[in-house]
Chains A and B, each alone.
Chain A
Amino acid sequence: MMNALKNPANRAWVVLIIATLITWYLGEVGAAGTAAIVAMLVIAFIKGRLVILDFMELRNAPTMWRMLLEGWLILVSSLILLAYWISLK
């Protein structure tokens, strides 16, 4: 068990599965509004970053490529947050 968790891909998989279940649960209990939206976006951001760094294996890639993909994630999350913030006003 401990050995398996030395592999960053296995650790990422565990976190991704738990994070997905949390988002699903927030949906089940009907979470809505600012706190719910921010929580789900933060979860999606963490998940996306794990896929970029540990699945795509860009953790040790040239900085430009890592920044391009992480930058995409920041851009998309920010635009979604902005749009939801407008909808809540």
Chain B
Amino acid sequence: MASTTSAPEEAPHSKRLPGDLAIWIFILAEMLAFAVFFSAYAFARAGNAEMFNLYQQTLNRNAGALNTLLLITGSWFVVLAVQAAHRDDNKGVSRNVALGIVCGAAFLVVKVFEYAEKFGAGISLSTNTFYMFYISLTFFHFMHVILGMVILTAIWLQARKGAYTSQNSHGLESGAAYWHMVDLLWIILFPLVYVMR
């Protein structure tokens, strides 16, 4: 039976996992893969710190920081979308999901410029170990941003039909959780690859 509690905010918080269980298992698997990559980077660097420090200086730290701001803000809009669904604000859902997509697209644009600069300078996976890690780690993450945007676009199309309400926000919450994972991974990746030395 559907619950008809009048003031859900006042009800004692029951422990609840937002979204579907399956998406959380998928998220954990993805996070474990990234944990392996992050550790591989850090330990490869330990054996070659001077070289890593030298080539890290060639990265565009401003672009990396700007992209962090974009993903954080994109994530924030998607939280606002989930909150809008919980109070049955249909327009709020689709507007905030759209803003989240815009932030993701801006991230991709910045990243493409960054890649163009590096590839234009003749840098490739085989240039050295540092660039091998820089390109593969950021590109693997790039693909996750693209998948996140595909998911958000599917959600936006549904949201425009008013699909997400306080009674039915599972699909939105699942997509949101994935999008936050993309943000979480970049929050580690940016200091690790661009700044820490």
A and B bind: yes
If over half of A's interface residues share one DSSP class (helix, strand or loop), that class is named, otherwise mixed; here it is helix
- Segment at the A interface, from B43-51, B110-118, B131-139, B142-150: B43-51
Closest-CB distance, A63 to chain B (whole angstroms): 7
A63 and B61 contact, CB distance less than 8 A: no
Q: Which residue of B lies closest to A68 (CB)?
A: B28
Q: Are B79 and A9 in contact (CB under 8 A)?
A: yes
How far, in whole Å, are A86 and B42 apart by their CA atoms in the complex?
10
Which one of A32, A41, A62, A76 contacts B35 once the chains associate, using CB atoms below 8 Å? A76
Does A55 contact B83, Cβ atoms closer than 8 Å?
Answer: no
State whether B69 touches A40 (Cβ < 8 A).
no
Measured between beta carbons, the chain B residues less than 8 angstroms from A36 are 196-197
Given the known inter-chain contacts A7-B83, A56-B18, please indicate yes or no for A40 contacting B191, CB distance below 8 A: yes
Give min CB distance, B151 to chain A, whole Å: 15
B102 at the interface (CB under 8 A from A): no
* A27-B80 in contact (CB<8A): no
Which residues of A sit under 8 angstroms from B73, Cβ to Cβ?
A: 13, 17
Per-residue B-contact encoding for A45-74, CB less than 8 Å = 1, 0 else: 001100110111110111101001100100
Whether A2 is near chain B, meaning CB under 8 Å from some CB there, is: no
Q: Decide if A62 touches B180 in the complex (CB within 8 Å).
A: no
Count how many pairs of residues, one from A and one from B, have CB atoms less than 8 Å apart in the complex. 136
In contact, A83 and B45 (Cβ under 8 angstroms): yes
Interface range on chain A (Cβ under 8 Å from partner): 35 or more
For the complex, would chain B's binding face be called helix, strand, loop or mixed by DSSP majority? Answer: helix
CB distance from B31 to the nearest CB of A (A): 5
B17–A20 CB distance below 8 A = no
Contacts of B181 in A (CB 8 A): 56
Given A20-B68, A51-B184, also A87-B46 (CB < 8 A)? yes
| Contact pick for A84, options B47, B184, B196, CB 8 Å | B196
Q: A27-B194, A80-B192 are in contact. Are A16 and B72 (CB under 8 A)?
A: yes
Chain A 2-17 against B: per-residue CB contact (8 Å), 1 yes, 0 no?
Answer: 0000010110110011
Please report the C-alpha to C-alpha distance between residue A37 and residue B195 in the assembled complex, in whole angstroms: 9
A31 → B minimal CB distance (Å): 8
A60 pairs with B16, CB closer than 8 A: yes
Chain A nearest CB, measured from B1 CB (Å): 23
0/1 interface trace, chain B 8-42, chain A, CB 8 Å (1 if under):
00000101111000001000100110010011001
Can you pick out 26 interface pairs between chain A and chain B where the beta carbons lie within 8 Å of each other? Answer: A9-B76, A10-B76, A16-B187, A17-B69, A17-B72, A23-B191, A23-B195, A24-B195, A36-B197, A37-B196, A44-B188, A51-B184, A51-B187, A55-B79, A56-B184, A61-B18, A76-B188, A79-B35, A80-B192, A80-B196, A83-B39, A83-B42, A84-B42, A84-B46, A87-B45, A88-B49
